[in-house]
Chain A
Amino acid sequence: MPIPLSIGHGVYSASTSAGTTTITVGSEQKGIDPVRLQYGAVDFERALAQAELERTEFAAFLEKHFCETSGIDCALQIVQRLVYGL
C-alpha cells in the first residue's frame, strides 16, 4: 500500500517492495494518469541521506551568514524555521 510521501510535492506517494522504491506522482487534474518512477531502494535511501546532508550544509551556510551579518543571537532559531519549518 503506497503511503503519502511529502518531499516537497504533496501529491507523491512511495512504496518499497523487492528492493525497488516506486514513486507515484498523482495529478490534481481529472483524467491524467499518475506517473510512476522506480528506483533501487538502496539508491533511493542513499539519495535521501545525501539530500539531508546537503540540507544540513545549507542550514550551516545560512547560520554563518546570519551571525556574521547581523550579530543576532537567534540565528539558529531563524535557520531552523527557514530550513526545517520548526
Chain B
Amino acid sequence: MQLRLVPVVELEPTDLGVQNFVELLESGEWEVFWEAHLVSFGLRPIRPGSWFVATGEFASQATFNLLARVHLEWDPQSLDLPPELDHIGPISGGYAFVLGGSVQLEPGCCCDLSDLTNGARDVKATQCQFH
C-alpha cells in the first residue's frame, strides 16, 4: 500500500460558523453534518468528521477567500489590504499519514505547514547515519 504525507489545513468548526459542534458530536450527527458543511464551501475533510482538509482541495477563488477570511481575518473581496507581515503566522495544519487511502495519523494541535522541512532533513540525516 502506498504511503502519503498529505499537507492539510485545519479548519475549526467555529471559524465556519458552527457553534454546536459538541451537540452534533454527541448526537452522532457530526460526520454527516460536517461533510455537507464543508462541501458547501467546495471542500472535503480528509476523513469523515475531520477538521483537516488537504491543501489540494483549495483550488478556487472561493476557497482562497475562505482561507483568507479564516486565517488572516481578511476579506479579499474588500478594498482592504491584507494584514501586515508581522501579524501573519503559518497556516494551522500539518501532514496527515495516509496509507492505502486510509488516514492513520493526523497532526496535533499547534502545528502548521512549515513543519515539513525539519522532518525531511532529519529523516535523511538519520538514513545517512545508518548507511
Inside 8 A of B97's CB, which chain A residues have their CB? 23, 37
Inside 8 A of B117's CB, which chain A residues have their CB? 84
> B122 contacts which of A3, A47, A50, A83 (Cβ < 8 Å)?
A3
A20 to chain B, nearest CB (A): 10
Inside 8 A of A77's CB, which chain B residues have their CB? 85
- Interface assignment of B126: CB less than 8 Å from any CB of chain A: yes
B112 near A48: Cβ-Cβ < 8 Å: no
- Interface assignment of B105: CB less than 8 Å from any CB of chain A: yes
Inside 8 A of B55's CB, which chain A residues have their CB? 54-55, 57-58, 61
**Residues 39-86 of A contacting B (Cβ, < 8 Å):** 39-41, 43-52, 54-55, 57-58, 61-62, 65-66, 69-70, 72, 74, 77-78, 81-86
B7 near A55: Cβ-Cβ < 8 Å: yes
Interface residues of A, count at CB 8 A: 51
- Interface assignment of A31: CB less than 8 Å from any CB of chain B: no
- Interface assignment of B94: CB less than 8 Å from any CB of chain A: yes
A10 near B110: Cβ-Cβ < 8 Å: yes
B113 near A14: Cβ-Cβ < 8 Å: no
Inside 8 A of B119's CB, which chain A residues have their CB? 5-7, 14, 48
A49 to chain B, nearest CB (A): 8
- How long is the Cα–Cα vector from A84 to B116 in the complex, in angstroms? 9
Q: A: which residues have CB within 8 A of B?
A: 3-11, 14-18, 21, 23, 25, 37, 39-41, 43-52, 54-55, 57-58, 61-62, 65-66, 69-70, 72, 74, 77-78, 81-86
Among all A-B residue pairs, the 3 with the closest Cβ atoms: A8-B94, A85-B114, A7-B119
